[in-house]
Amino acid sequence: MAESDTERSSKRETRIIGGIVSLVAFSIFMISKGASDLNHCKIQPMIPIYLIVAGSGQLLFLLLLLLYFLSEKATIVIEGILIFFLFCWFIAGSYWVFSARIDMTTSSSDCSYFVYITAFIILIAEHIITGIILVGLIIWCCGCRVRSLPSRNNGETTNLIAN
């Protein structure tokens, strides 16, 4: 029995809501873990702060997605600023976490191990996701470029994609 459009739409909305709830929960986890261990990372005090700001930025981004439906133009400007800030924060967090990695192997008492590992895993996942997105964009751009190249066929110039 085939699914109706209403059932497919309902399942899609359920997945979207589930994803949003998961992101909110993960962001709250980042904030709470960073806040609970704020003064427990002497080797690099910025690691718990990184978790707090990154989690807050994700929550703000989700809020802006909801506001997008109310005021599209204002939301686009705010999202652009937020994306730029989160990108800079991602670079700074990478520096703080990965520069402390060498020291973590020698003296684990200088930083809460769970805070460090949480930040480390989050950054590794973000690096992987960023890499996948960049490779996808490059492939997509190259594909668009190849499709738009002219082809010579009996003296005529035609596109590679048939209309």
Count how many Cα atoms sit within 13 Å of the Cα of residue 149 in the half-sphere of its side chain.
7
How many C-beta atoms lie closer than 10 Å to residue 14's C-beta?
10
* Residue 130, domain member (yes or no): no
Would you place residue 163 in the very low, low, confident or very high pLDDT band (cuts 50, 70, 90)? very low
How far is the C-alpha of 51 from the C-alpha of 163, rounded, in Å? 50
* Residue 30, domain member (yes or no): yes
Q: How far is CA 66 from CA 75, 84, 139, 161, in A?
A: 9, 19, 31, 38
* Residue 131, domain member (yes or no): no
User: What backbone torsions phi and psi does residue 69 show, to the nearest 5 degrees?
Assistant: -70, -20
β-partners of residue 151 are 158
With H, G, I as helix, E, B as strand and everything else as coil, classify residue 44.
coil
* Residue 154, domain member (yes or no): no
For 83-113, the pLDDT digits (tens) are: 888 888 889 888 888 888 655 555 555 677 7
Report the candidate in 116, 128, 130, 121 with the shortest Cα–Cα distance to residue 83.
Answer: 130
* Residue 69, domain member (yes or no): yes
pLDDT given at position 109? 58
With H, G, I as helix, E, B as strand and everything else as coil, classify residue 151.
strand
* Residue 41, domain member (yes or no): yes
**For range 108-125, the mean pLDDT:** 80
Length of the chain: 163
For 124-158, the pLDDT digits (tens) are: 998 998 899 889 988 888 877 666 666 555 555 55
Q: Per the structure, how many domains does the chain have?
A: 1
For 49-70, the pLDDT digits (tens) are: 999 999 998 898 888 877 776 7
And the tokens for 39?
A: 């003064």
* Residue 53, domain member (yes or no): yes
Residue 85, domain extent: 5-121
pLDDT given at position 83? 86
